[in-house]
Amino acid sequence: MHSYVVTRLLLTVLHGLLTVGCVQGTELSTPDITITIEHANTVDTRMWGLMQRKTLPPNHGMLFTYPHPQRLGFWMFNTFINLSVAFIDDTHIIKEIHHLQAHPEKMQSLPPIHNVAQLRRQRYSAVMAFFEQRTATSSKPYRYALEMEADWFKNHDVQIGDRVHWKPSASTAYVTRNPK
CA 150 to chain centroid, in Å, comes to 11
Confidence at residue 64, expressed as pLDDT on a 0 to 100 scale: 95
Confidence at residue 28, expressed as pLDDT on a 0 to 100 scale: 42
Q: In this structure, what DSSP letter does residue 17 have?
A: H
Give whole-number Cα distances, 155 to 4, 57, 104, 174, in Å.
Answer: 24, 15, 24, 16
Sign of CA dihedral 115, 116, 120, 124: positive
Name residues whose C-beta falls within 8 Å of residue 174's C-beta, 6 or more positions apart in sequence: 18, 22, 28, 31, 32, 33, 34, 35, 164, 165, 166
Four-point Cα dihedral 122, 83, 15, 8, nearest 10 = -150
Confidence at residue 130, expressed as pLDDT on a 0 to 100 scale: 58
Sign of CA dihedral 54, 135, 153, 22: positive
Q: Burial code of 108-135, b = ≥16 C-beta within 10 A, e = fewer?
A: eeeeebeeeeebeeeeeeebbeebeeee
Q: Which CATH architecture has domain 2-176?
A: Sandwich (2.60)
Indicate the pTM of the whole model: 0.75
In this structure, the strands spanning 60-74 and 33-40 are parallel
Amino acid at 131: F
pLDDT tens string, the chain, 180 residues long: the values are 444 333 344 444 444 444 333 433 334 445 689 999 999 999 988 888 887 888 999 999 999 999 999 999 887 777 889 999 999 999 999 999 999 888 766 666 666 777 667 666 666 666 555 556 657 889 999 999 999 999 999 999 999 999 999 998 899 999 998 876
